[in-house]
Structure 1
Amino acid sequence: MMAGMRPIWGHWILIFWLGTCAEALTRATGSKPAEFGKRYTGFVDKNTEELYSFSYTSKNDTVDALRVFVSSNSINLEFPVLFVVRQQKAILSWQVPMVFRGNFPRTYTYQDVSRTLCPTEPEEGTGSQEQFIYIDIASMSPSIVQYELMVTRLLSFQLKTSVPFNFSASPSQPQYFLYTFPEGVDSVIIKVKSPENYPCSVVSVQDISCPVYDLDYNVEFNGVYQTMTKQAAITVQRKEYPGGKFYVVFVIKPEDYTCGGTVPQSTQGSGNHTWNLKRVKHMEVTVSPSVKDSVYVQATLLCLLYFLIFYVGSLLVAFVHYVSIHRKERNLKGSPDEGEGTVAASHPITTSTPDGSSYGAIDESSPGARKMTPPPIPRPRVYSDSSADEESDFDAIPEMETDKNVIRAKTFLYVSDLAVKDRRVVSKKYRIYFWNIITIAVFYALPVVQLVITYQTVLNVTGNQDICYYNFLCAHPLGVLSAFNNVMSNMGHVLLGFLFLLIVLRRDLLHRHLLEVNDTYAKDYGIPKHFGLFYTMGVALIMEGVLSACYHVCPNYSNFQFDTSFMYMIAGLCMLKLYQTRHPDINASAYAAYASFALVIFLAVMGVIFGKDNIWFWVIFSIVHVVGSLALSTHIYYMGRFRIDVSNADFGIFKRIAQVLYTDCMQQCSRPMYMDRMILLIVGNIVNWLFAIFGLVFRPRDFPSYLLGIFICNLLLYLAFYIIMKLRSSERIQTLPLFCIIATAVVWAAALYFFFQTLSSWEQTPAESREKNRSCIILHFFDDHDIWHFLSATAMFFSFLVLLTLDDDLDVVRRDKIPVF
């Protein structure tokens, strides 16, 4: 029985095949021959469909591109008109009205649609070929629907190198063009410009394949892409496209939310549907060769040469210093105790204390001052902690606290009054800063590197160039990095940070050698030498370069703190070092300092998250800012002696506050006890209050830069006060620190100029950020922000040298003659 059924099944298969062939033959013979450039009008319904056939001859050395324009008067979304285009190796279909999904639940519909067909290139060696295209038009509408059709041949489908090309596009009429790499060109940059901010658009670069993804809902499926308002730029390398060709696709989005805009205005609306939008964008595209490999080498060598100059200069200064020391040693006939020292080399200080003693340096009024033996130095009791690793401000000897308060309560203090602790203990205390920052750097940098590698990998895999906020007009890729120039320009922080560590190490070793030979000047003259904070500053500068480079691997909203965290720490460490110079025994502990830095970084993160529109954040931050300034001012004014005893009665706090107000405000109202400190703190509080008021009123969007500005202004204010007080005390500034001060001012001014040349902004949408992009300005490789990296690293290096050398003139002045301010 089974054998008997086989002829029956074969019969039905034969009938089905013959019917299919007959239907195909009928459709083929029933097609309407059509011509390019001619408009056709017709009607379709559920019982009627139309088939148009086009033919042309393709040549071996040309690429023929066709564009199909269709429209329909139907607005019935239930029964749209369907258009199917069949080519030799591709099929393309769409419907009219064409529907795009916007921000839920809005939809946007268009009745005029224009699409470019995927070009068919004949195979090499086949010569000319006859190509056929069939366009099938149908609808399931129960009523007759009118349509229009026109097919044209594109005469300007291939983009030419360095030749601008103008065109227009809309959501239902996307455009794409072909570009072929010329011989000898391995990298090109695609620059797109538009006179209008909106409508929002997408620029995509896709490999040569069919279909081409040229609609809003599929343009992200292939290649790399960017959103765009006024300009966009994409760098393309030949190695990414083995065929040496690619498509540049332009898609207009149905709404502008992605680019930071709002819902588009409609000419006709019905519920959540928007009809007949006039969203046409005019654009100009230019494909130009990018920089060659030789430019990468030249830029790297230039960068290394620039910072090598600082190493050579440092060696020259060290050599001159070495020769000067040995020349002095040959001229000396005895030790300082025999009267042959240079104790009186500094100028006398004219400002006198109430008891008639001058404060600053040894008097040189006597003709034989340079030949006198240094008088014996009265030394205060020196206390040492039970443990050299002790980090507390409290000492093991009970009477230390009493003596400390008595000494610090003096109206006029000298460095010897605040250098009573054992030198080894204090040095180890400051070395805790160094070891802590090493630990912080390791644990901070490892997850940072992992995260930015992930970001770069996601960008390379997805092709979504909106993830990272580069200056795309000057972003030069190398390997997996999309903006190698922005990463490499941070090399200066690392090189100059390492150089500063070498300079500090040299000074440290020299000072240790002098202490080992019991040099009088090293032990009892000049500012006490503690290098722990200097080592910490050098490491912080290196880490600023490392983390800034990591941030620029993929700069965006999520990793902004990588670029600024160590800037806060550098500013804070500089202020601590400046304060520690004349207050070696009462500086903040490393743990308290780093806890404060952590709080600042936390506030920076909160400012980015909540600072844009939340007024309560700014109110709370302003209150914390003002209260913190007052608390720190109180601690500085009383040199750490201000205490509130809460262990007594319930009203002990208020009693203590009343006593302070009575003694320090009412009794000393005419003249504060510490006038210099009072002036500094008044000016400092005014500046900080103005910052707080400015933030509360204007609420700047870039909160991290605003917070960094507070730190930098306070540091500059303190440094200016220190220099003024130094000159007022008849101390002098030697040639090297004077040169560093001038260089710091000049380089910082230049650096800030380039810093404010904003080239991108992660506070805005990627498309809005690209409006700020600019071309390179040095070797066609470095942009303004790269120059900021070079100059800021240089400025910070000079700033560190200022702090390191500012008090070199006091190395021959007794500590009981060096005033505290």
Structure 2
Amino acid sequence: NPSRNPESSRRKGWGRPSPSSTGFFHTEGVRVSVNVLSDQKDQPVLFVVRQKEAVVSFQVPLILRGLYQRKYAYQEVSRTLCQPQTKAEVETQHFYVDVSTLSLNTSYQLRVTRVENFVLRVATMAAMGPFSPQYFKYEFPEEVDSVIVKVTSAMAFPCSVISIQDILCPVYDLDNNVAFIGMYQTMTKKAAITVQKKDFPSHSFYVVVVVKTEDEACGGALPYYPLSKNASPGLQCSCHHRLCVGTSWGQGRELSPVPAYVRSVLFCLGIFLSFYILTLLIAGWPRVSADGPGPAAGERSLENVASRPRLDSLSSVEEDDYDTLADIDYDKNVIRTKQYLCVADLARKDKRVLRKKYQIYFWNIATIAVFYALPVIQLVITYQTVVNVTGNQDICYYNFLCAHPLGNLSAFNNILSNLGYVLLGLLFLLIILQREINYNRALLRNDAHALECGIPKHFGLFYAMGTALMMEGLLSACYHVCPNYTNFQFDTSFMYMIAGLCMLKLYQKRHPDINASAYSAYACLALVIFFSVVGVVFGKGNTAFWIIFSVIHIVATLLLSTQLYYMGRWKLDSGILRRILHVLYTDCVRQCSGPMYVDRMVLLVMGNIINWSLAAYGLIVRPNDFASYLLAIGICNLLLYFAFYIIMKLRSGERIKLIPLLCIISTSVVWGFALFFFFQGLSTWQKTPAESREHNRDCILLDFFDDHDIWHFLSSIAMFGSFLVLLTLDDDLDCVQRDKIYVF
């Protein structure tokens, strides 16, 4: 039987003094430290601390397990005793330490000390190792509803776990049980946990700090600690580091949530509703001048086209009529392969047919949005529920230093800041609706300008763009419910849509008859999203994937270049290689003639250089964030095409009116500021949760929004401005005949 030395059984008492000057009772913490001087891992010494309503037991050497069931033994152990709840304001409590062992000759040291500043304000500790966990108590003042517990270190701290636990006994303060209760985070340099009073009936909680046995959980190396006779394996490689690093923590700020939340919501609504007011003012300005004296523009143009028939109803138009022209295929080839094309050459189809063709873009994206958003919402709610139930705050990569919870949501500020995408997307849809109503009225009165002048007005793609902007806000909000590696695709899917739709709209302006159908366009975008998912899941470090993707990227670039250069008048069949060789021989070898379409060739050469370079970069560097890499490809191509469009517009003798010019300048400035805040990098799921928290920063706006929230504000405004640029860019051509508007 184990023998017990009565002299080694000790008793200690502590009390609860009278209330302090701060207004609440000061509780003294008691710490029991044991050091077994003899190395006898086969016959450990058992220490049992008996208190009122609590028993804490541990053996020395203390055996803890790490990754792959590695064992670590510690000869020195320190534990803080929990504080059972008491009804009396002043009460003396006693505890007993029982020591037992099978060994007949064991020497040890047992020390009992009081913990200074046990009721937490600001405390400092030196990390000893997994054998010496520490915790402190925090008591909520009556006027405070939530606090942020901040843990900071001037230099890299050993991989640790910060836990928030209710005032209960026992306290789970070992590496193998700290995750059993409460909320917890891993930490190297920073940690921050928002705690709400409503979650703790006693209006107080413990802040527990536990050093892990290994650094692997925080992204560090996984050393092998041999169990030697004279070594403490947990301290062998980093004893000095763990002994000397100082860490301080305390409540970062005391929050009074309701006024701050209301103020922040009103701030968001005020910013974006001001755009509605500004739009109404701008829309009403030309209307005042148009209502002035003199004949209306519509009356002046009815005089010339009074005999023209009104447009028939769309009810007789079928989808099979999309590519019908009065001329035959040979006539198409003659027209579309001319060296110099005008918009009239590529706007010959029935307006009813084209209108229905482009309306399908809107209805398809609306359908996609519903079926895409519903499972996404369900999934992120599940993520948030898991975080709330398990307390594991390593699941989601928030900026914990500026995370404001609301209800079950851990970071309401990151969700609220996406409101701009939805409101500005809705505003853009209203602007398009107004433009379409005015255009249809002009058609009904047979306005010559509407019938024969300017870029053909088709609004389906604009409606799709506005819907995509609203969905970007919704899905970005869903992603920020629990941002992590597996659901980042939610944040980027409709960004791909927006980039693709903007390029299609630019191309449609001058090529309405030959622009892609909604079915083929969304099929290509679905393929992009498919590669995004595969790249996120399998792309990290997978050489085969990057080779396949780079080849597909280059081949797709070549096929698209051919399609654009020949205006779609080529066929992909078994004779394609023979025709390519024939063109190369006749145009490059036999007579070495230059390209027939120089401007198009310049654009396509630049596009191929950029895309081939991006493919090479991906193959060589293999970036971890594949979704952002894929988005960068789309944005680079969009910017290239937009720059080409502007240059060709000016080269063709056209001009940019004041409103689109102001939109271009202001949008460029806003994009610049937005990207600055985007690249602040407050968190990153490419690293471990503990490493990600090293990038966390405090709020910088209204003590509620962080840098990434400002990115949401500015990028939504910049996207809205970019859409307005596309909408108004060719307003200078509204009175120019279509046979005088060049195609490029």
Q: TM-score, normalised by structure 2?
A: 0.93
- Is contact 1:416–1:815 with CA below 8 Å preserved after alignment? yes
Paired amino acid for 1:149: L
Aligned twin of 1:719? 642
Aligned twin of 2:21? none
- Is contact 2:32–2:81 with CA below 8 Å preserved after alignment? yes
Paired amino acid for 2:119: Q
Deviations 1:357-386 (A, max 9, x none): xxxxxxxxxxxxxxxx89x99xxxx99999
Correspondence list, 1:125-274, <5 A: 127-129=90-92, 131-141=93-103, 143-160=104-121, 163=122, 165-264=124-223, 266=225, 269=228, 274=233
Partner SS state of residue 335, structure 1: helix
User: Considering only CA atoms, is the larger Rg found in Structure 1 or Structure 2?
Assistant: 1
Report the Cα distance in structure 2 between the residues aligned to 1:756 and 1:49, rounded to whole angstroms.
65
Q: CA deviation at 1:435?
A: 0.5
Q: CA deviation at 1:198?
A: 4.3
Partner SS state of residue 767, structure 1: helix
- Is contact 2:671–2:718 with CA below 8 Å preserved after alignment? yes
Correspondence list, 1:79-90, <5 A: 79-90=43-54
Report the Cα distance in structure 2 between the residues aligned to 1:819 and 1:304, rounded to whole angstroms.
43
Report the Cα distance in structure 2 between the residues aligned to 1:392 and 1:133, rounded to whole angstroms.
90
Pick aligned residue for 1:110 from 59, 71, 74: 74
Report the Cα distance in structure 1 between the residues aligned to 2:302 and 2:436, rounded to whole angstroms.
24
- Indicate how the Cα distance of structure 1 residues 498 and 384 shifts in structure 2: closer, same or farther if over 3 A, else same: closer
Partner SS state of residue 104, structure 1: helix
Aligned twin of 2:12? 55
Q: CA deviation at 1:223?
A: 0.7
Aligned twin of 1:615? 543
Deviations 1:487-509 (A, max 9, x none): 00000000000000000000001
Aligned twin of 2:500? 572
Report the Cα distance in structure 1 between the residues aligned to 2:316 and 2:565, rounded to whole angstroms.
29
Please identify, of 249-258 and 148-157, the stretch whose mean Cα deviation from structure 2 is larger: 148-157
- Is contact 2:325–2:348 with CA below 8 Å preserved after alignment? no
List gaps (5 residues or longer) in structure 2: 19-25
Aligned twin of 1:64? 28
- Indicate how the Cα distance of structure 1 residues 276 and 413 shifts in structure 2: closer, same or farther if over 3 A, else same: closer
Report the Cα distance in structure 1 between the residues aligned to 2:209 and 2:320, rounded to whole angstroms.
64
Deviations 1:648-686 (A, max 9, x none): xxxx34322222323454467442100110111111111
Aligned twin of 1:747? 670
Aligned twin of 1:475? 403
- Indicate how the Cα distance of structure 1 residues 184 and 105 shifts in structure 2: closer, same or farther if over 3 A, else same: closer
Paired amino acid for 2:523: A
- Indicate how the Cα distance of structure 1 residues 434 and 730 shifts in structure 2: closer, same or farther if over 3 A, else same: same
Q: CA deviation at 1:394?
A: 4.2
Report the Cα distance in structure 1 between the residues aligned to 2:493 and 2:191, rounded to whole angstroms.
31
Report the Cα distance in structure 1 between the residues aligned to 2:314 and 2:564, rounded to whole angstroms.
24
1:631 correspondence with 2:559: yes
Aligned twin of 1:786? 709
Partner SS state of residue 625, structure 1: helix
Aligned twin of 1:696? 619
Aligned twin of 1:294? 259
- Is contact 2:455–2:509 with CA below 8 Å preserved after alignment? yes
Paired amino acid for 1:774: R
Paired amino acid for 1:180: E
Report the Cα distance in structure 1 between the residues aligned to 2:248 and 2:736, rounded to whole angstroms.
71
Please identify, of 542-551 and 612-621, the stretch whose mean Cα deviation from structure 2 is larger: 612-621
- Indicate how the Cα distance of structure 1 residues 331 and 59 shifts in structure 2: closer, same or farther if over 3 A, else same: closer
Deviations 1:414-433 (A, max 9, x none): 10100111001011001111
Q: CA deviation at 1:436?
A: 0.4
Q: CA deviation at 1:77?
A: 3.5
- Indicate how the Cα distance of structure 1 residues 276 and 788 shifts in structure 2: closer, same or farther if over 3 A, else same: closer
- Indicate how the Cα distance of structure 1 residues 273 and 692 shifts in structure 2: closer, same or farther if over 3 A, else same: farther
Report the Cα distance in structure 2 between the residues aligned to 1:642 and 1:385, rounded to whole angstroms.
31
Report the Cα distance in structure 2 between the residues aligned to 1:337 and 1:514, rounded to whole angstroms.
10
How much is the aligned-residue C-alpha RMSD, in angstroms?
A: 2.5
Paired amino acid for 1:158: V
1:490 correspondence with 2:447: no
Please identify, of 606-615 and 412-421, the stretch whose mean Cα deviation from structure 2 is larger: 606-615
Deviations 1:3-48 (A, max 9, x none): xxxxxxxxxxxxxxxxxxxxxxxxxxxxxxxxxxxxxxxxx97575
Partner SS state of residue 69, structure 2: coil
1:95 correspondence with 2:79: no
Q: CA deviation at 1:644?
A: 3.8
Paired amino acid for 2:109: E
Q: CA deviation at 1:57?
A: 4.9
Q: CA deviation at 1:287?
A: 1.0
Aligned twin of 1:705? 628
Partner SS state of residue 513, structure 1: helix
Aligned twin of 1:324? 289
Deviations 1:36-67 (A, max 9, x none): xxxxxxxx975756542323351353423211
Pick aligned residue for 2:350 from 422, 447, 455: 422
Report the Cα distance in structure 2 between the residues aligned to 1:793 and 1:118, rounded to whole angstroms.
51
- Indicate how the Cα distance of structure 1 residues 238 and 546 shifts in structure 2: closer, same or farther if over 3 A, else same: same
Partner SS state of residue 150, structure 1: strand
Partner SS state of residue 9, structure 2: strand
Partner SS state of residue 330, structure 1: coil
1:449 correspondence with 2:359: no
Partner SS state of residue 640, structure 1: coil
- Is contact 1:195–1:230 with CA below 8 Å preserved after alignment? yes
Partner SS state of residue 661, structure 2: helix
Report the Cα distance in structure 2 between the residues aligned to 1:299 and 1:489, rounded to whole angstroms.
9
Pick aligned residue for 1:777 from 700, 703, 718: 700
Q: CA deviation at 1:227?
A: 0.5
- Is contact 2:74–2:232 with CA below 8 Å preserved after alignment? no
Report the Cα distance in structure 1 between the residues aligned to 2:428 and 2:693, rounded to whole angstroms.
37
Deviations 1:149-177 (A, max 9, x none): 111122221112xx454443420000000
Deviations 1:144-203 (A, max 9, x none): 22222111122221112xx45444342000000011112311111111012343421000
Report the Cα distance in structure 2 between the residues aligned to 1:431 and 1:579, rounded to whole angstroms.
16
Partner SS state of residue 127, structure 2: strand
- Is contact 2:325–2:349 with CA below 8 Å preserved after alignment? no
Paired amino acid for 1:772: H
Paired amino acid for 1:609: V
Report the Cα distance in structure 1 between the residues aligned to 2:464 and 2:453, rounded to whole angstroms.
25
Partner SS state of residue 538, structure 1: helix
Please identify, of 236-245 and 44-53, the stretch whose mean Cα deviation from structure 2 is larger: 44-53
Paired amino acid for 1:754: F
1:604 correspondence with 2:537: no
Aligned twin of 2:22? none
Q: CA deviation at 1:720?
A: 0.8
Q: TM-score, normalised by structure 1?
A: 0.85
Aligned twin of 2:456? 528
Aligned twin of 1:815? 738
Report the Cα distance in structure 2 between the residues aligned to 1:312 and 1:103, rounded to whole angstroms.
60
Paired amino acid for 1:137: V
Report the Cα distance in structure 2 between the residues aligned to 1:786 and 1:308, rounded to whole angstroms.
18
Report the Cα distance in structure 2 between the residues aligned to 1:287 and 1:769, rounded to whole angstroms.
21
- Indicate how the Cα distance of structure 1 residues 729 and 57 shifts in structure 2: closer, same or farther if over 3 A, else same: closer
- Indicate how the Cα distance of structure 1 residues 333 and 531 shifts in structure 2: closer, same or farther if over 3 A, else same: closer
1:550 correspondence with 2:478: yes
Partner SS state of residue 583, structure 2: helix
Correspondence list, 1:787-806, <5 A: 787-806=710-729
Report the Cα distance in structure 2 between the residues aligned to 1:275 and 1:434, rounded to whole angstroms.
62
